[in-house]
Amino acid sequence: MPAPNLPQKGLNILCIDGGGVRGLSALIILDEIMTRMRHSSEHGISANPYEYFDVIAGTGTGAIQACMLGRLRMSTKSAIECYASLANNVFSQKNWLGRTFFKISKLRESLRKIIQHETGDPDEPMMERLSDENRCKTMVFAIPSEASLASIPVIFGSYPGIINAGPDCTIWQTLCATIAHPDLSGPFEIGDPPLQWSFVEAGFGCNNPLHHVLTEVARLYPGRHISSVLSIGTGKADTIQFLGPTGLLRHFLPTKAVAATKKIAMDAERVGQEAEVKFSRTDGIYFRFNVDQMQSVEIDQWERLNQVAECARSYMMLAEVSQRIDKAIQAIQARRLAIPTVGIDGQLQITKTEWPAAIYYRDPTPDYTGREAEISKVEMCICGSDYERKICVIHGAGGTGKTQLGLKLLRSNSQ
């Protein structure tokens, strides 16, 4: 809990889409943001995402990045190096059809090495060992393999008290679950039968998990305000290619798989457009960056990381994009109380109307006099201490002046 008497600052939220090889573009953009933030500070101090964002979230390859930046507290440059290493050591294998595949066992060992280097324990749990309300929270998503595409994803978080949470497990197990692909690697299983969990990446249903992130933020931070929401995509649907003009892949990849992958990208853009509408009346809060210059890079061409990086840098050189980056930095650094978390998840709120209290009464008769002793007793009864309930009963036979006494009392104490 924040210290008493200290004003709370606005929350900063970072959400990263999944996107295969294109996911590197998200890290390149984020590295540019951190570099500009470091240069804008008076002393040129370090700028790492976990120091500026209260929540870092992602799905698919975006989940790997979110854990690197949030749970492992890595710098953007270190995350880029590790991401490139995973691409070379794990995701660059191809079968005789030219189709990418990867082994979960190889992914596990590569992740464990990274985690051991950062924490000293290759089996470091996903949940933080020490609870700290002010520490950056990490949340990533996966979907039970037997569930439908419309299912609500399971949350793996670095903090306790999650609703619809995944099993308690290590960081590497979490990341294997969030990136498991039904065709490229098969589902990833956690636990032992009959209580075993089986997961595939949440890209099949929420490749852009922003809606689920905001829902969790509203639950985690009731009564707080948001300063910025930074959403980073991994390529627009109309620029994504899945089949090369030549080669065997275009002959053997099922049409349904192509359509499903296209739908994933379009779904991410749909969520992004819905967020644009949600924040349209609140300028300077929601920022989405999504490179649209990667037409020739297929989603599984991990050997083309350099081209992805070049496309991301070219995208950021556009005047409009560069200006939006500067505005995003201002919102992140300002931590202003821009919008409340109440309703940020889209839930309707019932507004309570407080009607002003009023007492309506008529004046006593003009010739009413006397009864000072009775009026004084009633005043002592109802106008005494503010810490106890008052009850006063005026009783008597009809026509003895009870009503006139009450009206006189109200007139005398109308203030």
Per-residue pLDDT for 195 more than 50?
yes
User: Which residues make Cβ contacts (< 8 Å) with residue 23, sequence separation at least 6?
Assistant: 16, 17, 60, 61, 62, 64, 65, 83, 234
Say what the pLDDT of residue 14 is: 98
> What does pTM read for this prediction?
0.76
Say what the pLDDT of residue 58 is: 95
User: Token digits for 203?
Assistant: 């890209």
Question: Alpha-carbon distance 108 to 23, whole Å?
Answer: 19
Confidence of residue 293 (pLDDT cuts 50, 70, 90): low
What's the average model confidence in pLDDT over 189-206? 77
* CA dihedral over 106, 172, 153, 295, signed as positive or negative: negative
Question: Alpha-carbon distance 268 to 291, whole Å?
Answer: 13
Task: Answer for the pair 13, 226: CB distance below 8 angstroms, yes or no.
Answer: yes
Smallest Cα–Cα separation from 57: which of 204, 276, 217?
A: 217
Say what the pLDDT of residue 369 is: 74
Confidence of residue 253 (pLDDT cuts 50, 70, 90): very low
Task: Answer for the pair 108, 176: CB distance below 8 angstroms, yes or no.
Answer: yes
Question: Alpha-carbon distance 166 to 159, whole Å?
Answer: 12
321 CB-contact burial (10 Å; exposed 0-12 / middle 13-18 / buried 19+): middle
What's the average model confidence in pLDDT over 180-198? 77
Question: Alpha-carbon distance 196 to 210, whole Å?
Answer: 28
Per-residue pLDDT for 219 more than 80?
yes
User: Token digits for 34?
Assistant: 């951190």
Cis peptide leading into residue 194 (ω within 30°)? yes
Q: Please state the φ and ψ torsions of residue 298, each to the nearest 5 degrees.
A: -75, 155
Mean pLDDT (the chain, rounded): 80
From-to residues of CATH 3.40.1090.10 in the chain:
11-340
CA distances from 283 to 31, 37, 271, 328, 359 (A): 24, 20, 18, 11, 45
Confidence of residue 248 (pLDDT cuts 50, 70, 90): very low
3-class DSSP assignment, residue 228: strand
Per-residue pLDDT for 148 more than 60?
no
Smallest Cα–Cα separation from 170: which of 210, 104, 232, 111?
A: 111
pLDDT digits (tens, 9 = 90+) for 86-117: 887 776 555 544 454 557 788 889 999 999 99
What's the average model confidence in pLDDT over 283-306? 75
Across 40-44, 87-91, 168-172, 377-381, least confident range: 40-44
Question: Alpha-carbon distance 330 to 119, whole Å?
Answer: 32
pLDDT digits (tens, 9 = 90+) for 156-165: 999 998 888 8
User: Token digits for 282?
Assistant: 């609140």
Output the DSSP codes for 123-192: T-BSS-SS--TTSPEEEEEEEETTS-TTSPPEEEESSS--TTB----BHHHHHHHHH--TTTT--EEES-
The DSSP code for 100 is: B
Q: Please state which CATH class domain 11-340 belongs to.
A: alpha beta
Query: How many alpha carbons fall within 13 Å on the CB side of residue 123?
Result: 2
What's the average model confidence in pLDDT over 225-250? 65
Beta bridge partners, 200, equal: 143
User: Which residues make Cβ contacts (< 8 Å) with residue 393, sequence separation at least 6?
Assistant: none
Pairing of strands 55-59, 137-144: parallel
